[in-house]
Amino acid sequence: MAIVTRGDRIESIVPAAGLQTPAGAKVVNVKGKFALPGFINSHEHLATPPDRKFAEAMMRRDLYGGVTAVRDMGDDIRAVAELARESLVGEIPGPDIYFAALFAGRSFFDDPRTAAASQGVAPGTAPWMQAIDDHTDLANAVTLAKGTGAVAIKIYANLPGDLVAKIAAEAHRQGLKVWAHGMVFPATPQEVIDARPDTVSHTGYLAYQAVESRPQRYQDREKFPIDPHPFANRDNPVMSALFDTMRERKIILDATNYVYETVERMRAKDPKNSPPPPYCSSQLAELLCAQAYKHRVLISAGTDSFAPADDPFPALDSEIEILVHKVGMTPMDAIRSATLISAMAAGQEKDMGTLETGKLANIVFLDADPLQDISATRKIVLTVKRGVQYPRKDYRPLTKAETAGRL
């Protein structure tokens, strides 16, 4: 086959034999390679706190690793918006960025990350990171968030179910997506699902629906570790009902399996200087994700963490491999999670996620067939983003200066 592009769009996909090359066209020889849509990471954090060198390094590794778009899930939007602009117009190599403004209850804003992501502004008062309660003018709050360039409201923590529903309704009324945590503390997973968000993040949070005792605040979740035994057979009836509802309502699960493994790896390497023990093990998160897959829930591929500094490939490759080897997806379904479904999660499926006439020329060329071995996603030869080529041979590895103190 031949993929014909004009500017930043795919003009046609046709048999190579007999193709009449238009006058003046540039021919790129990818004979024998395997073409996929550009990968999309449905969960990254590029600016908490803002660190320009680090963010650019992560974006460079993403793009040369085949990631042509990401969802940024709640950061200092002042920094993210500039990174998004520069990447969009090609001033720096990186994926397109679609970002959210964050809403949470007032009691959440003692979290130090909120101060780091809104420096110069009192935590909870920035348009991109707002404290919400029953007295908030939600129409005004959503309008302020929309004015930052956000494409979604992320509903994060410490909000009751009725307020989660009101936020979701107002965000949708104003044309924004709604990206929610699977549990919003005290809002239960069922209450979150009933609010009809477009996506829910973190499979482990959903397990709180099937346990007797749940944390009422985000800050207390480590005090309520989830017993994995009721979920061991991948057929927990409470979860089955929840997943069936998600499937029926086409709510996407942003599973983030990789982050659970990341926390466990960090704790094993350096227990004293690592995050607290996770409330949910990686094994449990993967079991729950497998049950969601069994119930045909739409699952996107997000990492919520970055690969180690010495890894030449982005974390999304590991998430895709987890989906195949531990969740039990077919290679094609895992690729679909990292392309079309992640595009749907970002609200960008009209422009990306598949190779089709009229869509953006976001293409990944591999040296081996990922349907035979999913690790072939790392055998990348060329990334094309919006029609611009980024050959893998031109990738510049991360430096210590770029990742110091972060990876």
Residue 396 has pLDDT above 80, yes or no: yes
Characterise 298 by phi-psi region: left (phi > 0), alpha (psi -120 to 50), beta (else).
beta
DSSP state of 354: S
Show Cβ contacts of residue 123 under 8 Å, excluding neighbours closer than 6 positions: 109, 110, 114, 115, 129, 131
Give, in order, the Cα–Cα distances in Å from 5 to each of 9, 11, 380: 6, 5, 20
Mean confidence (pLDDT) of the chain: 96
Show Cβ contacts of residue 268 under 8 Å, excluding neighbours closer than 6 positions: none
pLDDT at site 271: 81
Residue 225 has pLDDT above 80, yes or no: yes
pLDDT at site 195: 98
The predicted-structure confidence for 282-317, as pLDDT tens digits, reads as follows 999 999 999 999 999 999 999 999 999 999 999 999
In the chain, the domains with their CATH numbers are 39-353 (3.20.20.140)
Query: Higher model confidence: residue 114 or residue 278?
Result: 114
- Distance, CA of 287 to CA of 139 (rounded, Å): 39
The predicted-structure confidence for 194-220, as pLDDT tens digits, reads as follows 999 999 999 999 999 999 999 999 999
pLDDT at site 134: 97
The predicted-structure confidence for 336-386, as pLDDT tens digits, reads as follows 999 999 999 999 999 999 999 999 999 999 999 999 999 999 999 999 999
